[in-house]
């Protein structure tokens, strides 16, 4: 008789669980951090690392900077080309001999600046090639660039000698204006490249890891530091199939974890469209081999200080 009552009690419990819709269920999960990897689009030596690992940074605060000497020289060369092109346009519009010669002299000066830059870059590439940091092809490119700038300087000097013996032609104004536009575009590109040698935090958060020290060579696009923004912490939990139907983006859930103090609220923004097996990080024996749906919720950014990635959490429907 006692066995009969036991079976009835078990059956009643199953029916109550099925009818309850999972309102009292506790779902297991953990805190997930979405890291942002900070990198510069160009290569260079790391000049400064302004935020150490574990430091908090504000939005817009500088995190690191690469040495900008070659790019600063390139910008100066591009700006000199702009001034030369602008002077050439003005002087061709008013074909007076002295202004024309001045414009060509500025063009020669720009070509000399470009040659100095190419010579400096070639010396740097030769030093890197000696240490086997770059390939022979890169070194050949640097030599070709230096030779090209030398040829442009020679052409500018020859043109200056020609104009000193004759007047410019108004028909060249259109071509000079096109050269001015091209020089302006190059100057903007060089300015953009120089600005990208300094990288700032896109949002407030914590520097999770740094990968280089000042003085080391950083390749283009290689992360120098990883940032965990305050607003990029998520609660990821797993819900059985019979309970997931009652959850939808926009709904609130209550989250509890050890060491987090009082329970806090998070809002669901993702429910997986397909079931999966419970991941190994969830150690519940009852749910280990069951199909579940991954659900993610976003807590308030103000809770960033207590929500560390990897911390296990228990999640219930809001109000429970």
Tens digits of per-residue pLDDT, 19-37?
A: 444 446 899 999 999 999 9
Tokens of 183: 């020089």
pLDDT classification of 200: cutoffs 50, 70, 90 = very high
Whose CA is closest to 275, among 298, 245, 310?
245
Close Cβ partners of 148 (under 8 Å, ≥ 6 residues apart): 118
Q: Supply the pLDDT for residue 16.
A: 36
Distances (CA, A) of 88 to 80, 92, 102, 106: 12, 6, 9, 9
Enter the pTM of the model: 0.57
Using CA atoms in the order 126, 132, 133, 137, what is the torsion angle rounded to 10 degrees?
60
Q: Supply the pLDDT for residue 167.
A: 52
Mean pLDDT of 269-296: 74
pLDDT classification of 223: cutoffs 50, 70, 90 = very high
Q: Is there a contact between 293 and 271 (Cβ–Cβ < 8 Å)?
A: yes
Give the total residue count for the chain.
320
Q: Supply the pLDDT for residue 18.
A: 39
Q: Is there a contact between 35 and 244 (Cβ–Cβ < 8 Å)?
A: no
Helix (H, G, I), strand (E, B) or coil at 276: strand
Helix (H, G, I), strand (E, B) or coil at 200: strand
163, pLDDT greater than 60: yes
| Phi (first) and psi of residue 163, to 5 degrees | -70, -25
Q: Tell me which residue has tokens 């000399």.
A: 112
Q: Supply the pLDDT for residue 96.
A: 52
Tens digits of per-residue pLDDT, 58-89?
A: 999 999 999 887 778 888 888 888 888 888 77
Count the neighbouring beta carbons within 10 Å of the beta carbon of residue 245.
Answer: 12
Residue 92 to residue 311: CA distance in whole angstroms? 71
Q: Supply the pLDDT for residue 25.
A: 84
């Amino acid at each position: 008789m006692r066995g009969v009552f036991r079976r009835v009690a078990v059956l009643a419990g199953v029916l109550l669980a099925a009818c309850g819709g999972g309102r009292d269920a506790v779902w297991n999960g953990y805190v997930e951090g979405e890291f942002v990897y900070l990198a510069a689009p160009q290569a260079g030596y790391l000049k400064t690392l302004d935020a150490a690992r574990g430091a908090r940074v504000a939005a817009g605060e500088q995190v690191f900077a690469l040495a900008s000497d070659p790019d600063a020289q390139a910008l100066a060369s591009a700006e000199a080309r702009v001034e030369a092109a602008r002077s050439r346009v003005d002087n061709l519009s008013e074909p007076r001999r002295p202004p024309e010669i001045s414009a060509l002299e500025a063009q020669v000066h720009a070509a000399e600046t470009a040659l100095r830059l190419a010579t400096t870059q070639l010396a740097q590439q030769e030093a890197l090639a000696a240490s086997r940091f770059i390939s022979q092809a890169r070194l050949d490119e640097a030599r070709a660039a230096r030779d090209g700038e030398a040829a442009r300087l020679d052409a500018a000097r020859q043109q200056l000698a020609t104009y000193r013996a004759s007047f410019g032609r108004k028909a060249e104004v259109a071509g000079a204006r096109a050269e001015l536009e091209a020089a302006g575009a190059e100057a903007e590109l060089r300015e953009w490249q120089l600005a990208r040698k300094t990288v700032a935090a896109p949002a407030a958060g914590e520097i999770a890891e740094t990968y280089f020290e000042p003085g080391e060579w950083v390749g283009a696009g290689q992360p120098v530091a990883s940032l965990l923004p305050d607003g990029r912490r998520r609660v990821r939990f797993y819900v059985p199939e019979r309970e997931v139907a009652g959850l939808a983006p926009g709904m609130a859930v209550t989250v509890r974890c050890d060491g987090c103090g009082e329970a806090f609220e998070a809002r669901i923004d993702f429910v997986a469209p397909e079931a999966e097996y419970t991941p190994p990080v969830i150690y519940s024996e009852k749910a280990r081999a069951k199909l579940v749906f991954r659900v993610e919720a976003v807590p308030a950014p103000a809770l960033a200080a207590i929500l560390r990635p990897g911390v296990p959490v228990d999640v219930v429907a809001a109000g429970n």
